[in-house]
Structure formats: structure tokens, C-alpha cells
Amino acid sequence: MVGNAGTSQLVYQPDQERLSPADAHQILRQHLEQLAGPWGLTSADAHRLGRQVQVQTYTPNEVILPKGVRAECFGLIVRGQVAVQVTHRSQARAVAVLLPGSTFGAAMLGEGRTSASVLQSLSRSEVWFLRRADLERLAQQREAQKRSHQTRRVGVWGLGVVLIGLAVLALLSQPVGRQAVAILPMSVGQLCQLHGYTTCAEQSWTVASALSPADERPLVALGALYLEREQLGPAEQWLEKALALNPENPETLNNLGLLYAHQGNHKRAIATFREALELEPGVQATVNNLAHSLHELEAYPEALDQYQLAQSLGTPQASIWANMAVAYFESAQPTRAVEAAQRALAVDATQAAAHTVLGAVALIEDDPREALSHLLRAVASDVRPGEAYFFLGLAYKSLDQPSKAISSFEAALASAEDEVTRVRIRQHLYELYDRSELEGMD
């Protein structure tokens, strides 16, 4: 690390030689091996993670990492120069320059801390990133394998029987003992959920909540489980109980925000997501949830800003690119909509919303055959393809295939959720019905 801590500006130096791939991977492996023990990983896992780096390039003066976000990443400068800036008395001050071979973000990767400074490229730079999400995913796989090995003889339902016996004994013991025993059903519930046994998870967390009524964790887990099942009533009851125990738990607030969004109360959802982010800034899932509710209220500029922020806070998600594509399309920005949709499909070719946007833009550009290819993929990939069916009907109508257009519009009408949409679909259907009758008379 090279810099001048006594000045407020850094002088740009000629671009340094690019770090060789071999040297770059060696540096990454050294840092990952230091994390292997705390995360329960092997040296082979460290090598595997080293091959999952994400390469990002930056133009001069582009911000690589803003201050205060929970980026949860580790960065290696492979090429270029990067300034480290800190804020003192509301004034930004550059204190160091990172050259090829320098690293940053070890605490963010290992401990999930927020960034303490601003990183800004001084020249065209290349940075290799490792994401905490990749580390967690691999650690969870190893933990799941370990637990599976330990519990294979007993089985999940055998654990349930043990739980019942423990619960009976614990309910007869002192409160301190109950809290200690509650750790076991909480852990078993997580194991059950990991393997898809949601009923077992529900029962385990219910036992945990009875054993330790002052602990909000099993209540949050139950609320999230019911929310996933779209059982909004029970979800709200458990989450409200959790909130009463701890009003400053960001996980509880995020789940409540999702609940309000499911109920269609996006204004309340937005306020709740913002409250969660004040308590724990930079959480990708919460920022994305905030963006979605802003999107639903047609606050497109802010929604798109939040989508962009969400993408920068973790591994880029195809679903976020797809949502951005929809927002760009709905705000009459077709060029950007196409770009976002293509980026979504580059990550996940089955993103139905992205195909729908590409089909809709093709219709605007009077290319119904191109639209048809995307919209058929959208319908095949989406479990609720109402919007895709509507545009598919328009495509068939433009191609003079009225019977297929009618079938598509009827499918769209069956899944339409509001009267304005239904009226719009019926207009096309009535026109096609009248046309079919006239052709039949001829």
C-alpha cells in the first residue's frame, strides 16, 4: 500500500504493470487459506473459491466501493491504481493508493463488516472480487454434509421424537435450563428446513419458542416460513410477536416489509425496509425488496437506483436485472430495458420477465416474429405468465393468427389481477371474436 497520508489529494502515477494471473491466484489462495479454519473449509475449497473470482474493470475516477455499505467482498487489485478516501469533518480526504497486488475488504469478507472508506479508481483498473455469499454457500454445503453424516442413522423424524422428549423434560425445568435446551430444537429446525422438511422445521421452531419465550429468533423463523407458504395471517402473528420482543431486529423488519408487500401495502413496506436498512445498511436482499416496492408504486428513478445498489452489494442476480428491465420498459426506456434483459439472460437463460421485455420491445419495433420467439420462452418458463400471454396475443394478432391470439388473450384474462388490465384484454378479444364471426359468415 503506497500513499501520502498528509495530503487531501493523490497524484496519479503512470499505470503499473498488470499482475500476472499466477501471482494473482497465489495471493487469493493465501488469504483464503487463512479463512479456511474459521469457516470450516479445506485447502481444496480455498482453491475452488479462488477460481470463482469475478473480474470487474473500472474507468478513471469511477467509485469501486462507497463508504458504509455492506459489500461483503474481498478485492485484489490486478491492474491500475485505486485511491483510498476517508471522511474527516465532512471532507473527503485521499490517504493512500493501492497498486497491483494490493488487497482490500478482508474484514468485509470474513466478518461481514461495512466498508470504512471510499475506494475510487485513479486509472483504468481491474479488480478481482471474492464474494462472502460464495464463501457462505460453500461453508453451508460442508456443514450440511457434516450434519447429514452425523444424523444419517437417526433420521430426521427420529430427531423429532427426541425433540418431543426433550421438550417435555425442559418444560418441567427452570427457565435458564429451558433457554439452553431451546438451542437444540432451533438448530434441528434449521436442519429440517435445509433438507426440505418444512413441517419438521415448523414443529421444531414452535418447541423452541415455547422453551425460550424471550428469544425472537424462532418467532422470526416461523414468520418467514409462513410467509414463504403465503400464509399471511400466521406470518403476521409470529413476526409481530418477534417485533414486540426486539423492535430493532433488521431481519424481523425485512420480513415484515415482505409481508406488507404481499398484502399490497407498498408504502408501509417501503418504510419498513428503510427502517431495516438504517439498522443494517447494505444488505442486498433488503435493498432489492425496497426497490421492488418502489417499482410497484411506479417510483421508477428511485427503484432503478436501488436495483443498481442491490447489484453492487453482492453477487449480481439475474432476477434483479430482469426487474430492472421491466422498470426500464415501463418507464419508456426501451434501449436500457433491452440491455438489462440481455444481462439477465446472460446469467440465467430462463428468466421469464427478461424474455417478456425483449418480446414487448420487439413488438414496439414492429418485429412480431422476433417477439414470438421470446414470448414463447417466457410462457414456458413462468409459473404465472399472464403478462407474457398478453404480449403473445399481440404477436399472434400481428402475424394474422387469430385463433392463437384468442387463446393467448383468454389465458391472459384468466390471470389478470386488476380491472384495468382485464378491460384492455377484453378489447382485443372482442375485436378478434367479431372478426372470427364475420369470417365464419363469409
Q: What is the pLDDT of residues 173-194, one digit of tens each?
A: 545 444 545 566 777 777 877 8
Q: Set out the domains of the chain in order of their start, with CATH numbers.
A: 21-138 (2.60.120.10), 154-215 (no CATH), 317-442 (1.25.40.10)
pLDDT for the residue 161: 44
106 pLDDT tier (thresholds 50, 70, 90): confident
* pLDDT band with cut points at 50, 70 and 90 for residue 287: very high
Position 322 scores a pLDDT of 93
Cell 491492474 sits at which residue?
79
Name the 3-class secondary structure at 393: helix
The pLDDT score that the predictor gives to residue 379 is 84
pLDDT value at position 275? 94
Cβ partners under 8 Å of residue 41, min gap 6: 32, 35, 49, 135, 138, 139, 142
Q: How many percent of the chain have pLDDT more than 90?
A: 25
What digits encode the pLDDT tens for the residues 389-409? 899 889 999 999 988 888 888
* 3-class SS of residue 54: strand
Query: Is pLDDT of 147 > 80?
Result: no
User: Using one digit for the tens of pLDDT, what is the confidence trace for 197-222?
Assistant: 888 888 887 887 787 788 888 888 88
Task: Report the pLDDT value the prediction gives residue 168, as an integer from 0 to 100.
Answer: 46
pLDDT of residue 123 exceeding 50: yes
Q: How confident is the model at residue 441 (pLDDT cuts 50, 70, 90)?
A: very low
How many Cβ atoms are within 10 Å of 141's Cβ, its own excluded?
12
- Write the burial class of residue 22 (CB in 10 Å: 0-12 exposed, 13-18 middle, 19+ buried): exposed
Please determine, for residue 388, whether its predicted confidence score (pLDDT) is greater than 80.
Answer: yes
Question: Looking at residue 144, what is its pLDDT?
Answer: 66
What's the mean pLDDT in 13-22?
Answer: 61
Nearest by Cα to 402 from 427, 434, 373, 436 = 436
CB atoms within 10 A of CB 34: 12
**pLDDT confidence tier of residue 367, bands split at 50, 70 and 90:** very high
